[in-house]
Amino acid sequence: MTYFEFLNEHGVTLLLGTVTTVKVLVCSMILYVIISMIFGLMRLSKNRAIQGIATVYIEFFRGTSLLVQLFWAYYVLPFFGISLEAFTAGVVALGLNFGAYGAEIVRAGILAVPRGQWEAAHALNFTPAKRIKRIIIPQIFPIILPPAANLTVELLKATALVALVTVVDLTFEAKQINSITWLSAQCFGTALLIYYIIARFALVPFLRWLEVLAARKVGKERI
């Protein structure tokens, strides 16, 4: 059959899978951003215990393979009493894993804020919490967004792994179609195209827009 016929017959299935992929992406993105912020700040805490916890977390999740973490979350956690739905297990594994990488980016971002800002806030009698919240954090965004953008594209690609724990996403549908029709070039090729389109024409422009927004808020835009 021609490629057009293939799309006619299987296109809808692939698109439905894509919807799930996007859902996984959005949920895990939210989770990883939150975790990155929390653990990035914890890593810089003066309190040894807090810093230790953050370091252990980061090293652990960066040091093990995402696929292993995913299978573990899905097949092994139930024996410890935590039984998550496949979708949730996937989102949690992705969020925790990418949160660890994100935390390092946030940490680097905070360290890159000019010393003068910290000192000025101190001079103006800001409480540490307020200083972090209103002065430092808003300024890290232009710094962390470019590496965070790369990380988010990585996240999109990583969502493909959840197909291996029964989540019916784009990769899963592509595998299914392949197992029944053996039109490997068409189904995997189309899947590749869809991921590429999402990355290049939706995700990256969105992240670029965020960068511009952040730059404007901090007054770094070009006039």
Partner 1 sequence: MQMGWRWDFTFEILPQMAIATLNTILAAGVGYAIALVVGLFFLLGQKTPFKIVNWINREIVEFIRSTPLLIQLFFVYFVLPQFGITLSAWVCGMITIGLHFGTYLSEVYRGALEGVPKSQWEACRALNFSTIYTYRRIVLPQAFPIAIPGMGNYLVGIFKDTPLLSTIGVAELFHAATAVGGYNYRYLEPYTLVGIIFLTLSIPAAMWVRKLENDVNKAQGKIKK
Partner 2 sequence: MRKIYKTLTVLFVLLFSISTVNAKTLTERLADGHKLRLGFGTAVPWAYAGDNGEALGFVNMIALTVLEEMGITEHETKVFEWSGLIPGINADRSDMITGGMYILKSRCANIDFSDPIGVFGDAMLVPKGNPKGINNYADVIRTGAKLVTGTGFNTVEAAKKAGVPDSQMLLVEGEVGILAAMKAGRADAAVQTFFGAKEHEEKTGGAFEVTDPKLMPKETVNVVGIGFRKSDSKFRDAFNVALAKVLANPDKMLERAGKYGYDKAQLPPPDMTTEWACSTK
Looking at the Cβ atoms of 121 and 161, the one nearer to partner 1 is 161
Binding region for partner 2 (CB under 8 A) out of 54-62, 135-143, 173-181, 187-195: 173-181
13 binds partner 2 (CB under 8 A): yes
Choose among 135, 106, 105, 140: nearest CA to 119.
135
Residue numbers 151-170 binding partner 2 by CB under 8 A: 164, 166, 168
Residue numbers 18-47 binding partner 2 by CB under 8 A: 27, 30, 34
Looking at the Cβ atoms of 48 and 173, the one nearer to partner 2 is 173
Binding track, positions 179-198, relative to partner 2; x by CB under 8 A: xx-x----------------
Counting residues that bind partner 1 (by CB under 8 A) gives: 38
